[in-house]
Amino acid sequence: MVTPRKVGKYQVGRTIGEGTFAKVKFAQNLETGESVAIKVMAKNAILKHRMVDQIRREISIMKIVRHPNIVRLHEVLASRTKIYIILEFVTGGELFDKIVHQGKLPENLCRKYFQQLIDAVAHCHSKGVYHRDLKPENLLLDFHGNLKVSDFGLSALPQPGVGLLHTTCGTPNYVAPEVLGQQGYDGAAADIWSCGVILFVIMAGYLPFDEMDLPSLYKKINAAEFSCPFWFSPGAKSLIPKILDPNPKTRIDMDNIRKHPWFCKNYVPVKHREHEDVDLNDVHAVFDDIEEKHVAENSETIEGSPLMMNAFEMITLSQGLNLSALFDRGQDHVKRQTRFVSRKPAQVVISSIEAVGKSMGLKVHTRNFKTRIEGISANRIGQFAVVLEVYEVAPSLFMVDVRKAAGDTLEYHKFYKNLCAKLEDIILKPTESLANASLLRTMTC
């Protein structure tokens, strides 16, 4: 197996996310020691699927909308075959995971997240950028619990002479009613509606519009047919209907959201550089394929054994030296990416995973201690896929990273719990995990 482990000044580590056209890997800037996330895309896949303009737009937008509550894009690199997007590494997970774990969140915390979301989205709008896919899965939390907007893949920039947007996109439960129509829509008003749905979800613990079939869902959205639960404060009950107004012309705008008494409570506007210089030279170099600008790739050849996770990765993974986070099998909280640890040989771990996947009637494909399990999602409207990768973290101690590659996140949660139940014989128990965490702490100090 040939695995690129160094790209320019970045030491590349484990995969932390996976999609149809890209993988996201953890990496360390060897010059500064900073942790980053690297989005890796194959040039031939981008060309084959005619995604050059979309990727160029996404990168350019992320360079333009620099803000403390937006995931930062550091730079863009390219080799002969790949494009590397270097992003801020956000350690706190998705807001979606927090909701799944806790249900409804305390109102003061919801207000803080909503204030940060509005600040970030208003900044985008001030730059002429409309996100168009705002939802809790695209809102990350940093180490300090601050919100970061991510995933600008469906974002739109203003076109000369074009007033309204016409592309229907976004996630159905969060999409504004006018986006479903054929008359065109104002991107700012549509984003505000999505922000309102997000506020409702984090305060209620469930969606305001949620039906099994799309026609019924769209009917409820178009009529704004919802009711606030009894535990919402009077201020929240006053603001949310103004945001979830099905008429975009009378829907509350950003300025008036910021003036609303419920929003203003404990509101501290974020400080940032309003006029930060934006350099798009690296974007042009990547997409114009300027060969002398290609970054150097150094690879390691590893045959017959899983990748060894170095101490730096383990410390970052566990957010400090509390390495018990490596062994999170005992937690009820299942994230989109979770992990468990085993003392069984790596080949036994992989064979056990393959057997369980096949017993569930799913397709299983393994290569170099990395297994992809896939099938049709439970609701029959798309593909469901999970990737499991084995890492050696100490002699005879292996960590299995499990991450969703496609499908519904809640379906992934059910799959993960079912998988762990079937792999009980090879997974370290919580008491054993604590002992091994002590061993790892000694190794990394």
Q: For residues 150 and 139, give the distance between their C-alpha atoms in angstroms, rounded to a whole number.
A: 6
Q: For residues 388 and 404, give the distance between their C-alpha atoms in angstroms, rounded to a whole number.
A: 9
Burial of 177 (0-12, 13-18, 19+ CB in 10 A): buried
Residue bearing tokens 């609701």: 379
Q: For residues 391 and 408, give the distance between their C-alpha atoms in angstroms, rounded to a whole number.
A: 26
What CA–CA distances, in Å, run from 17 to 2, 89, 404? 20, 12, 8
Helix, strand, coil shares, percent, the chain, to 5: 40, 25, 40
Contact 119, 69 (CB under 8 A): yes
What is the three-class DSSP state of 340? strand
Q: For residues 436 and 398, give the distance between their C-alpha atoms in angstroms, rounded to a whole number.
A: 11
Q: Which one-letter amino acid corresponds to residue 227? A: S
Q: For residues 325 and 165, give the distance between their C-alpha atoms in angstroms, rounded to a whole number.
A: 44
Query: Could you confirm whether 282 is annotated as catalytic?
Result: no
Which residues does 290 contact at the CB level (< 8 Å), separation at least 6?
none
Query: Which of 97, 119, 133, 186 is an active site residue?
Result: 133
Is 48 labelled a binding residue?
Answer: yes
For 24, other C-beta atoms within 10 Å of its C-beta total: 18
Binding-site residue ranges: 48
Binding-site residue ranges for ATP: 48
* Active site (catalytic) residues: 133
